[in-house]
Structure 1
Amino acid sequence: MNKTVNAVANAPLPMTPSRQPYGKLRLAYSLATIAVLALLALYGDRFALRFATEVLLIGTAVMSLNLLIGQGGLVSLGHGALFGTAAYSAAVVAQHWGAGLPVVLLAGMATGAILGVLTALISLRTSGLFFLTLSLVFGQLFWELVFRWRDVTGGADGLRSFPKLTWLGLQLSEPLALYLLSIAVAGLSWLALHSFNKAPIGQALIGTRDQPIRMAALGYQLSRIRIAAFLVAGTAAGAAGGLYPFVNQYLSPEIVHWSMSATLIIMGVIGGISTLSGGFIGAAVYLFIQTYLSSYTDRWQLIIGLIFVLTILLMPKGIAYTFRPGRRP
């Protein structure tokens, strides 16, 4: 009898049904992603590589916005200005100090971090609709700067006259090189944001979203938590923005306009605003329709609108969350 009891007590616990397939599905998704990225690198033509690069960089900006909205409940209409201003900063720095990879990435990340902290300071005194409005006004200030400062930014004509990207004497202007760099930027940004989410400060950010009064009563400093979130998100978006000018060797002031921020939010909702991977899925869907379907119809934005509405009705948490491994129905 005692032997039987001991055998049962020492037997390994069976894996729960919800956790057992989770690891396999997660591994399958990861391998599928790596396979797609590798196939594009091996067999993609120049156009496909540039398209994938744009998806990865803009997807990184959407992913950083997902952190703010999904984890912190901070809906910002100034995030596009953050990404676009970082891109302009990198391009202007390239004009005067050369287009070395570390220089332009540092310029983009520094710009994104600074603007992210400034946006966080706005969020400390406001919330909800008031923060949404102030973030829009804040972003439009930088669009006005880019649009009017013609001698530096090119004004309405955009910015073209900056050198191609280099590193250690190597030219990185080829689509394959830019594609591989964008994979590195997107991967490192995902790792940083994922680590932030899993850290105690990431869980505290969720608490400030759901129960800000209770979190303050427990001794948490909401200002520091929000500043840290905007700092991390801004740095990630700035890194992507620092590389973005060299994809097409051109920047338009529209990238700083508030409509860019709205586009990032639409991408986030379609992909999954509460997930990091949803940023890339939403960017891929949106840019595919904009790039490919727009050659067949002028009403491609109507298609985007239909997908957006259907996503909210049928998959309110986005594509990535709906097909997330281990998700309970």
Structure 2
Amino acid sequence: MTRAVLAAALLAVVTAVLADDFLLRFLAEILLLGIAVMSLDLLIGFGGLVSLGHAALFGGAAYAAAIAARAWGGDVLLMLGAGIATGTLLAAAMGVVILRSGQLFLLILTLLTGQMVWEVAFHWRDVTGGADGLRGLPALSFGPWALPGAQPLFLLAVLLAILAWLVARSYVAAPIGRALVGTREQPIRMSALGYSLFAVRFRALLLAGAIAGAAGALYPFVNLYVGPQSVHWTQSAAMVIMLVIGGIGSLWGGFLGAAVYLGIQTYLSAWTDRWQLCVGLVFVLTVLLLPNGIAGGMRRWRGGAE
């Protein structure tokens, strides 16, 4: 694991030196959305909690960071603090509403609670900019040091992706993570053993919200803009598609899915308006040929090695 992290860090430094600004911002977007998809994987892949409101946590944190940046400047620690706090609070509010319901009702309630956040973002024009969103964000900084341009943003995204993956991996391996899997596989038995299904799932949702919020805090600085689409349910659906393509139950699969989805969106959309059809074809082929996603296919190709 240590060697993999060091290799990723070295590759990131080389990429930051050689790549142009467009590619660096594109890679940063992949990493930040990949972090959000990875946090969604904690709920779906390990908890069996399918959510169509996850974009509300990610996009809500993006709005909070953008509003804080316009008011107090783009200090990285301030942005991350605002994003994590917002993602966690929104997850807590969502958890109180949804986690006592069954699977179908849970899915519908995540959709409804997520759309409540969209309603606020779309109609509270004085704060969120309404349909126009928020623009004119200051450059990122770290204390007295300015971090302008794409290189610092990309390196921050790399660092955040590594830290988020380590946190998620530690959580999954810990007893609380095993308990979350137990609530998915044998909820009645877990209740009989004395576990509170609500408490186990609520903690998972809080962690997912915090991780998604951290990624959302940096997301507005990719394009120096955040709009209501970032909290819409269609963005949540796109995250689910990314997760299925990358591989449910594989934490790093979310990054693969985000790369495939955004690659199609960014490059094929320059050639055709039907890029979403291409995403649909990739999704169907993944379900038929790689039911465990790209990550699962890669593990199988490597003979099951982790």
Q: TM-score, normalised by structure 1?
A: 0.88
TM superposition shift of 1:326: 5.0
1:91 to 57, 66, 71: 66
TM superposition shift of 1:127: 2.2
TM-align CA RMSD: 1.7
Say which is worse superposed, 206-215 or 39-48, in terms of deviation: 39-48
Write the letter of the residue equivalent to 1:142. V
Q: Does 1:236 align with 2:211?
A: yes
Q: Which residue of 2 aligns with 1:78?
A: 53
TM superposition shift of 1:321: 1.6
Matches within 5 A, 1:177-216: 177-216=152-191
Q: Does 1:308 align with 2:283?
A: yes
Deviation per CA, 1:272-294: give whole Å up to 9, x if none: 01110001000000001111111
Q: Which residue of 1 aligns with 2:304?
A: 327
Q: Distance in 1 between matches of 2:39 and 2:143?
A: 29
Q: Which residue of 2 aligns with 1:12?
A: none
1:251 to 226, 249, 253: 226
- The change in CA–CA distance for 1:313 and 1:33 in structure 2 (over 3 A counts) is farther
- The change in CA–CA distance for 1:304 and 1:73 in structure 2 (over 3 A counts) is same
Show structure 2 runs of 5+ residues with no match: none
Q: TM-score, normalised by structure 2?
A: 0.95
Q: Secondary structure at the match of 1:69?
A: helix
TM superposition shift of 1:42: 2.3
Percent of aligned pairs with the same amino acid: 55
Q: Distance in 1 between matches of 2:73 and 2:90?
A: 23
Q: Which residue of 2 aligns with 1:167?
A: 142
Q: Distance in 2 between matches of 1:36 and 1:278?
A: 19
Show structure 1 runs of 5+ residues with no match: 1-25
Q: When the two structures are aligned, how many residues end up with a matched partner?
A: 303
> Computing the radius of gyration over CA atoms, which structure comes out larger, 1 or 2?
1
Q: Distance in 2 between matches of 1:89 and 1:101?
A: 13
Say which is worse superposed, 136-145 or 294-303, in terms of deviation: 294-303
Q: Distance in 1 between matches of 2:130 and 2:53?
A: 20
TM superposition shift of 1:35: 5.6
> Is this contact kept in 1: 2:94–2:110, CA < 8 A?
yes
Q: Secondary structure at the match of 2:84?
A: helix
Write the letter of the residue equivalent to 2:127. V
TM superposition shift of 1:167: 1.2
- The change in CA–CA distance for 1:68 and 1:54 in structure 2 (over 3 A counts) is same
Q: Distance in 2 between matches of 1:32 and 1:185?
A: 16
Deviation per CA, 1:148-197: give whole Å up to 9, x if none: 01111110111113322111222223100000000111111111110000
Matches within 5 A, 1:6-85: 33-34=8-9, 36-85=11-60
Q: Distance in 1 between matches of 2:232 and 2:284?
A: 23
